[in-house]
Amino acid sequence: MMVIRNICPAGKKALMWFLISTLIFTTSFFSGSVLGFSSELWALTYWGPALYFCLLTFILRYCYTGFMYEVALRSAFLGATFSLGIFLTSFENGWRVFGLYTIILSFFHFSEFVSVALTNPRTLSVSSFILNHSVQYGVAAVASWIEWAVEFYFFPDMKTFFWLSYCGVVMCIAGEVFRKSAMFTAKTNFNHTVQFVKRPDHELVTHGVYSICRHPSYVGWFYWSIGTQITLLNPICVIIYAVASWFFFRERVYAEELTLITFFGPQYVDYQKRVGTGLPCIKGYTPDNTSQHLRDDHWSY
Ligand SMILES: C[S@@+](CC[C@H](N)C(=O)[O-])C[C@H]1O[C@@H](n2cnc3c(N)ncnc32)[C@H](O)[C@@H]1O
C-alpha cells in the first residue's frame, strides 16, 4: 500500500484507469447490460465494445490533455483487452487459450509502465508501455494471431489441450516475475533504452537477481515470449519466437555489455567472470568475441 502511495501522478492515473476499465468491461462482458445491449449483441458484435470504448475515450479527452491523456487512454485500452481476455477464458474451446494470451499480453504492457513509474519515474514516458517496441515485435504478434486463427479454424481440437496452455501461462508468470524483479532490483540503473553515456549516479548492480545472472530482465522476457506461444498452443510460432528472441538477445547483450565495460571497466569484467548471462549459449561481450555485427535498432528496451 505504501508503494502505491509513493507512485508518481502518471503511475496513479495509469493504475486508476486500468482498474476502472477492467471493472467496467469485465462486468459488461459478463452481464451484457452495457448501454442496454443484449448479451448476444454485446458479446458477438464488434460495434458494442467499440462504441463503449469511444465513449470512454471521449470522457478521457474531456478530463485530460497531453501526457496524462495518452497514459489514461493506453491504460483504459489495456484494461479493456484484459477484461476481454477474462471473458474469453470462460469459453470451452480455442477462444479460452486466446483469452489467456490476451490477459498475459495486456498485463505485461501495463505492468511495464507501472514498474517504471515505481522504480525510475524520471525516465517515465508513453513508450514505457513498450506497445510500440519495434516493427519486428508487431509483426511477430500478428503472426502469432494468424497462426492461432488458422489452426483454430481448420483443427479446432488442437486448441483444447488446456493443460499445455496452462504450462505456458506458468512460464509467462515466471518470466514476468523474473523481469520485474530485475527492474525493482536495479531501480534507477534500469532503463528501457540502452545508455551510451554513463550518468554520474549509474551504479553497477550485482546483487539480488543480478547475482543469479547478468541479464535477468532479458532472461525473463525471453521465456515470457516463448510462454505466450505455448499458451496459444502455436507450434510454429513457439519455434520462431525461440529462435528470433535468441538472436535478438544475443545482439542486445553484446551491445549492452560493450557499453557496460566502458562504464565500469574491470569491475564489469570481474562480474562477467563470476556470473553468466542467464541466456542459453549466449556469452555476451568479451574482447575475443568482437566479430558480431551490431544493428542500429539494438539500443532500446
Ligand atoms: C533494459 S535494461 C536491461 C538490464 C539487464 N540487461 C537485464 O537484463 O536485467 C538496460 C540498461 O540497464 C543497464 N544495465 C545492465 N546491466 C546492468 C547492471 N548489472 N548494473 C547496472 N546497470 C545495468 C544498461 O546500462 C542499460 O542502460
Name which residue sits closest to atom 5 of ligand 1, judged by CA.
215
**Across all residues in the chain, what is the average pLDDT?**
89
Q: What is the ipTM of this complex?
A: 0.99
The answer on 282 and 203 residing in a single domain is yes
What number of residues does the chain have?
301
**pLDDT beyond 50 at 293:** no
Structural domain of 65: 1-88
Do 63 and 193 meet the contact criterion of CB atoms below 8 Å apart? no
206 Cα nearest atom in ligand 1? 19
- Our count of domains for the chain comes to 2
Cα–Cα distance for residue pair 108/245, rounded to 1 Å: 17
Q: Does residue 208 lie within any of the structural domains?
A: yes
Local confidence band at 6 (pLDDT 50, 70, 90 cut-offs): confident
3 state SS of 300: strand
Strand partners, 300: 193
> Of ligand 1's atoms, which has the minimum distance to the CA of residue 192?
1
**How many angstroms is it from 93 CA to the middle of ligand 1?**
41
In a domain, 93, yes or no: no
118 and 235 inside one domain: yes
User: DSSP assignment of 132-192, as one string?
Assistant: T--HHHHHHHHHHHHHHHHHHHH-GGGGG-HHHHHHHHHHHHHHHHHHHHHHHHHGGG--S
Check pocket membership of 25 for ligand 1, CB cut-off 6 A: no
Identify the band that residue 140 occupies on the pLDDT scale cut at 50, 70 and 90.
Answer: very high
**Looking at the structure, do residues 151 and 59 belong to the same domain, yes or no?**
no
120 occurs within a structural domain: yes
Final residue belonging to a domain, choices 26, 57, 88: 88
Is ligand 1 within 6 A of the CB of residue 13? Answer: no
> How much distance in Å is there from the Cα of 120 to the middle of ligand 1?
13
CATH number at residue 134: 1.20.120.1630
Ligand 1 atom index nearest CA of 209: 9
The reply to whether 205 and 68 lie within a common domain is no
pLDDT above 60: residue 290: no
61 with 125, same domain: the answer is no
Distance separating alpha carbons of residues 228 and 289, to the nearest angstrom: 32
More confident residue, 146 or 287: 146
Closest to 268 in 3D by CA, of 279, 280, 256, 278: 256
